[in-house]
Structure 1
Amino acid sequence: METNAPIQNHEREIFMDALRGFAILGIFIANLNFLSHYRGSDDAIGPWLLKGSDDAMSFLHHMFIEGKFYSIFSLLFGWGIALQIKRGLAKDVDALPVIKRRLRIMLLLGAMHLLIWIGDIVFFYALLGFILLPLRKFSNKTLLITGVILILSPILLYWLKMTFPILNYPAQLLYQTGDNVSEQLAGINDQTKRMDFLEHASWFDHLKRNIAGFFYRYGYLFFVSRIPKVLGMFLIGYVIGRSDFYKNLAQNKKTVYWIIGLGLLIGLPANFQLAQYMSAPGDAYFDLKIEGWYETIVYALGVVPLALAYVGILMLVFQKTIGHKVLLLVSPVGKMAFSNYLMHSLIGNFVFLGAGLGYLGQVGPVYYTLFAILVFVFQIILSTIWLKNFQYGPIEWLWRSLTYKKKQVFRINSNQ
């Protein structure tokens, strides 16, 4: 199936959808550690907890999943913005007003998702999208250098917070605000009450508590320096989209091989060490200990290279007949990624919270990984069937309709 001709736009869109679907599977597995409220193998009592195997699976998650898939999703976000701008230029239309309106709708939808689950990334991406837009004016070289600097910057930022604790004040303020709001709205003021709340609260009580969750979420994002990490990937993705790197893959294969080679050479040992630090007892990272700085270093050096290696491998796989067919199966999930991402939160809440099935803390990494894969297979089937009848996923349709201030055609072969 390989060709030296430029890749057609339709094929590029299918690949991006497949990559997006691949990314949300990894994000779901990573998020299940929080959605399931898994407490670690020391409390391993129950049919869905496997002490030794859960520890091993958790290590593999840290090594191969932690950070890699939100990095890919961030890359795709910047890539997508670049393509929207290019399409506007091709039609001699200023795409910026529509993009900005699209980002504002993202803020609204992300805020609503935060009320369902505090781990939302949509609101965060929309905020950073407004920062990306003015940066687009710089050259590709400048954007790539800036992206790399931003991705590595948490090393310096963590050291500064270790040395000057006052710099952690924004995160502390957000955490404290979260505590105050949580106590006022949900009556939670310690860990014991929190667990009791998760086990016995109603859905409405959870919604109220998630208002406080907004402050916890952004306190966490400030603490872990997620802003420069994600913005850096936005910039790299923007360059990929603007330069037509993937469209001209045949001419760029040598670069892809270098990205894969260096990504594996640097990424695998760095992420192995990252998994060692993340699996160690204690909480050195959040206590601003020296081990936390070492963890930050290997994270910065390892996560993005390995994520880019994943992308490069999938680029090459997609050019092969068998790989193309396999990724084609995944692409419907990515085409309606927002709807499927929201579904993950709804399913996670229903399965694990006491207001639902109540499997809170009762499922370890082995079984929740299998659970994620089963949900993903279900989403492949559901998304494929859905897109045979509808133009977009339900959330994508709402997003698009609000963006263009006009009800979009929803059903295939329909004017309604």
Structure 2
Amino acid sequence: MRGFAVMGILLLNIIGFSMPGAAYVNPAAWGGTDPVNIGVWATNFVLFDGKMRGLFSVLFGASMLLVIQRAQASGQSARSVHLNRMAWLFVIGAAHYIILWWGDILVPYAICGTLALFFIHKDIKQLVRWAIILFSLYFMITGLVLGGSWWQSIQGLAPGADAETIESTGQMLGTFGKPGSDEIASDLALYRGGWPTIFADNLSTFPSSLTNALLLFTLDTLGMMLLGMAMLKSGFILGLWAPAIYAKVAIRAFAIGFPPMIALAVWVIASGYDTMITFGAFFTFSFPFRVVLTVGWAAALLWIIVRHREHAVIGRVAAAGRAAFSNYLGTTVVMTFIFYGWGLGLYGEVNRITAMLFVVAALTMMLLWSKPWLERFRFGPAEWLWRSLARRSLQPMRLR
């Protein structure tokens, strides 16, 4: 499951690696609006966007609870073990953000993982109830942000608007992915430059990124983690349910989630990629269906895994999942080298369909290296580092 999730995340992260961040929200901002490239955007928006990160968050919550349960069973202080792991995850995530890439998810995971400690003794129904509460709060907050932004855009574009309102509205729309904005030009100049400039910018934006994570993404991510904890306690995520039940859950979730997502994609395209409509579809309107489809993907993948446990491809994906931390960080190193100015400098030079070729190459590498490595070593390199730091001693690496 973790292997499928870490591979799926790259389908979306590749946009953040290869082109201005505005393209992640608005397909018209960069990457091409011809039928082929918009087809790539629509496919990712409907099938994968938010769902793979959601799946990874679900799995993080489940594995976190599993680690806590094992610590308790061995007589260790589960609280101490967990908080130490989250503290070092925060440090690694901060270094990942500042040194390499602004799209880090490890810092929000460390924050949410710490908060999740308060929920470990909740039963399944309580965990699901709290997840729904957090999802509702997220939807309400993003709805309020969207409503306020929509009203500001109306005021800023109205005849007779004062210069200050027009300027602030332009800046707001630029951050939401408005094509041709100064933000896009600045983004291109930054990431086509050298590493010291990128490092300095990442360092300066880290505090605001941390604030955003606390104010917004904590609700979404923590809710998914609580779902993962409930799925672990129910046996769902361990593959203990009958394949027919997984199939039924997946079919129902897809039937509920896919039609509205398709409708939102059509609305965005029909609007001519209106900035506010696109922003609303991405952040707010799609959110309830992203949650449903995350559960659907979990069920569908478990149906595949339960039915084909011994298949060679499943074994390779499982190895990629056991080295998910290494694959996640390694992907950042490789992709920033390919696209940023300190490496090959292809930033902003590829469209969406071409970017997918880099995804295929990266996923192939994940499947090729992970299994042979884990046949010789206990952990992936990043997993070993995290484990050694958290346990305050070098962990045995080689298999006997």
Which category describes the TM-score, using the shorter chain as reference length? 0.7 to 0.9
| 1:64 equivalent among 24, 33, 47 | 47
Structure 1 residue 238 and structure 2 residue 229: aligned?
A: yes
8 Å CA contact 1:28, 1:372 repeated in 2: yes
Structure 2's unaligned 5+ residue stretches are 153-167, 176-181
Aligned to 2:385: 398
| 1:371 equivalent among 345, 358, 361 | 358
Equivalent pairs: percent with the same residue? 25
1-structure distance, mates of 2:132, 2:240: 22
2-structure distance, mates of 1:230, 1:161: 18
8 Å CA contact 2:316, 2:370 repeated in 1: no
What SS does the corresponding residue of 2:71 show, helix, strand or coil?
Answer: helix
8 Å CA contact 2:378, 2:397 repeated in 1: yes
What SS does the corresponding residue of 2:275 show, helix, strand or coil?
Answer: coil
Shift of 1:23: 1.0
| 1:28 equivalent among 2, 10, 24 | 10
Structure 1 residue 264 and structure 2 residue 254: aligned?
A: yes
Aligned to 1:208: 200
| 1:340 equivalent among 327, 331, 343 | 327
Q: What are the within-5 Å matches in structure 2 for residues 7-406 of structure 1?
A: 19-37=1-19, 51-115=34-98, 116-161=100-145, 191-199=184-192, 201-215=193-207, 217-218=209-210, 221=213, 225-247=216-238, 249-250=240-241, 255-277=245-267, 279=269, 280=271, 281-284=273-276, 292=280, 296=283, 298-321=285-308, 324-406=311-393
Shift of 1:74: 0.4
The farther-off stretch of 55-64 and 238-247 is 238-247
8 Å CA contact 1:79, 1:238 repeated in 2: yes
Shift of 1:190: 5.9
8 Å CA contact 1:82, 1:239 repeated in 2: no
Amino acid at match of 1:353: Y
What SS does the corresponding residue of 1:408 show, helix, strand or coil?
Answer: coil
Closer, same or farther in 2 for the Cα pair 1:388/1:352, shift >3 Å? same
Deviations 1:228-268 (A, max 9, x none): 11111110101122333344724x55653442122111111
Shift of 1:337: 0.9
8 Å CA contact 2:326, 2:381 repeated in 1: yes
Deviations 1:113-142 (A, max 9, x none): 011101100111001111100122322211
Closer, same or farther in 2 for the Cα pair 1:321/1:83, shift >3 Å? same
Shift of 1:278: 5.1
8 Å CA contact 2:320, 2:367 repeated in 1: yes
Shift of 1:82: 1.5
What SS does the corresponding residue of 2:286 show, helix, strand or coil?
Answer: helix
| TM-score (norm: length of structure 1) | 0.79
8 Å CA contact 2:9, 2:52 repeated in 1: yes
Shift of 1:24: 1.4
Structure 1's unaligned 5+ residue stretches are 1-18, 180-188
Shift of 1:286: 8.3
Closer, same or farther in 2 for the Cα pair 1:226/1:255, shift >3 Å? farther
8 Å CA contact 1:119, 1:217 repeated in 2: no
The farther-off stretch of 305-314 and 255-264 is 255-264
Aligned length: 365
1-structure distance, mates of 2:190, 2:321: 34
